[in-house]
Every structure is written in C-alpha cells, then in structure tokens.
Amino acid sequence: MSAAPEVPGRAPLKIAVDAMGGDYAPREVIKGALEFARSGDAEVLLVGDPQQIEPELASLGASGMPQVRVVPASQVIAMGEHPTQAVHEKPESSLVVCARLASEGKADATFSAGNTGAVMYASIRYMDRISGIRRPAIATMFPTETGGRAVVVDSGANVDCKASHLVQFALLGSVYAQKVLGVERPRVGLLANGEEETKGDDLTREVHALLSVSPLNFIGNVEGNHVFEGGVDVVVCDGFVGNVLLKGAEGTVRLVLSLLSSDAKRAQDETVRDALLKSLLRLRQQVDYSEYGGAPLLGVNGVSFIAHGRSDSRAIATGLREAANAARSGYVEAVRAKLPELKAPPATEAAG
C-alpha cells in the first residue's frame, strides 16, 4: 500500500525509532531507518546512545542527513528483562524515550524491535489507551492464499480475557483493516474449533453472541486453517490462542522451507532444482515476516509498532513504512468514532 503524500505546509511525519532494540541493533536498525528515510516518507528520530549511533551513520554515509536526527537515550532494556520493572527502573532507556516522545507530541509513531513486553507497557504507560478501550492488543498480519492479509487480534498481549475485551479486539482489527489496509468492509471472524455457533468454550460462545448483534461485519466462527484462505480479514481471539497460532504458523513455515531447501539440494536434474529454488524464493517472499515489518499495538492513544527481535534492515524499513501509513490513516480517530457503536459491557465487567 503506497503512503499518502505529505500535505504542503504541514509538518512532516516523525517516527521515533528505538535504535538500540533488537538482536541486530544498532546497525541493522539504522540501515533500515536510513532506507526508509531516503524514500522521503517521513523524518526519523533515532533514539539511543549517540556514541554508537553516530559512527554507524558515518560508516553508512549518512552523517548530517536532514531526514534523520539522533535523540540521546542513556539506557537500554535488554530482551530478557522483566518488562514493567525495567520500564520503571530505566526511564531513560531508548524504548521508553520513544514512547515519551509520542506522548509529548514530538513523534507521530514509535517503532521498536526490542523487548515486546516493555514496549507494550511503555506505550500504555506514556501514550495511554484510547478512551473506552480496556485492553490494547497486538495485531499480526498473516499472509493469505489470495495475496491479501488477515489481521489476527490478539496475538500475545492478553492471556486472560473477558467477552467484552474480544469484542473490542474485533473493532480494533476491523478499523485497522479498513483505514490502514484499505479493506472497505472487513469480514470479522471468531477463531474457534468449528464453524458452528455452538462450538468453542463458554467465552467463545459468549463472544459469538455479542459479535452477532454488533455493527461489525461478523461472518461467524473460523477455524485455524481458514485464517490463510483469504475468506476473512480480521480474526479475533485471546492472546494465548493467538500466540499459539502465530508460533505454530512460524514453525510450519520453517519446516516447509527446510524441506524444500533439502529437496532442491538433493535434486540431480538441473531443471527440477531450478524449479524448486524458484518455488522456495516465492514462498520466502510471501511468508517472510520482513514483508510486514512489525505488529501494531492497537488500542493505545497513538501509533506504536513492535517489530520481530530478529528484524534485519529490510524488515525495519518495511515496518517503518507500515507505521507511517498507520500514522497518516486517521486510525485512532476512527476507533474513537466507532467505539460508542458497540454495546456497553455488562456491569460485572466494568472494572476489567
């Protein structure tokens, strides 16, 4: 999806990038940020240790690049640290500074490949939730057979959920699919162990009943295999189920790629080998997470993207383009406008 052009006279979009987050930081993060910045799409604020960032910029021939600015941050939250504790104890860490820049209106979006839990907590703590949203959720884009994308919400942020939480996830995913992915009337499905409305546990059946009378384009229950077929645009589930689906899909992809690669290496016939290698390349391009670049944290009062810890420069650049599109889309305003249309949660859930 191409980004909307900048409006003359309006300040250019600014994205705060956690330069210190990720397995290959800061170099790969900086390379990806530079690739994105050179497209003229927005300004990049590289947040982190200047003594590490500036030499990388110099080695990449980008010192003094007008679209890139370094914002000092003296601390780093490591992948293995406890998220809430680390955010409290390291207020000057790169990912926390990113969230603070957004909360202060100095950045239009944040992007990090660092500690997922810490990014989530910092985003909620500093950017706050959209008024009325009770639990922000991670949305992951799944490739489909039709060439589109299915938005799975939630894919890991919330393990224990109430029915009203999942109904809000459906709204968050539907608005994202419409405003950012350009789907006119997103089809919303509820992940279950069968298509019949009687399938699933008590929570699933309760959510099904609520979504059936909601203003969303609810098409009923969908099974795990339906996620990839292209017949549903938004798949709703709790974070436990969503994360199992995500990790299972990643493992299956690795297995298929490994088998294809082994077959290609063993092939004696050059034509067969070339065909297998071409199929392998096409499959990698279709399912590689670097094609999507990051997962938005939906429900916070702003745009926050969480990238895979193993993101390389290509994944970073792709994710920043997605974040820019989301920031320009009016997504947050659209959620605010749509939220009152949902049925109010039961009084027993008011504090959930």
Please tell me whether the peptide bond between 154 and the residue prior to it is cis, using omega within 30 degrees of 0.
Answer: yes
Q: Residues of the chain with pLDDT > 70: what percent? A: 89
Scanning the structure block, which residue is given the tokens 């203003």? 215
State CA 137 to chain mean position distance.
10
Listed in sequence order, the residues at least 6 apart from 78 whose beta carbon sits closer than 8 Å to its beta carbon are 86, 115
Q: What is the pTM of this model?
A: 0.88
Go through the domains of the chain in sequence order and give each one's CATH number: 1-132+299-330 (3.40.718.10), 134-292 (3.40.718.10)
CA angle 148, 149, 152 (to 5 degrees): 160
Q: How far is CA 156 from CA 48, 137, 294, in A?
A: 27, 8, 14
Sequential pLDDT tens for the chain (352 residues): 334 444 444 568 999 999 999 999 999 999 999 999 998 778 999 999 999 999 999 999 998 889 999 999 999 999 999 999 999 999 999 999 999 999 999 999 999 999 999 999 999 999 999 999 999 999 999 888 888 899 999 999 998 999 999 999 999 999 999 999 999 999 999 999 988 888 888 999 999 999 999 999 999 999 998 898 999 999 999 999 988 888 787 777 777 777 777 777 777 777 877 777 776 666 666 655 455 678 999 999 999 999 989 899 999 999 999 999 999 999 999 999 999 988 655 544 544 5
Going by C-alpha positions, the residue among 19, 15, 25, 20 that lies closest to residue 310 is 25
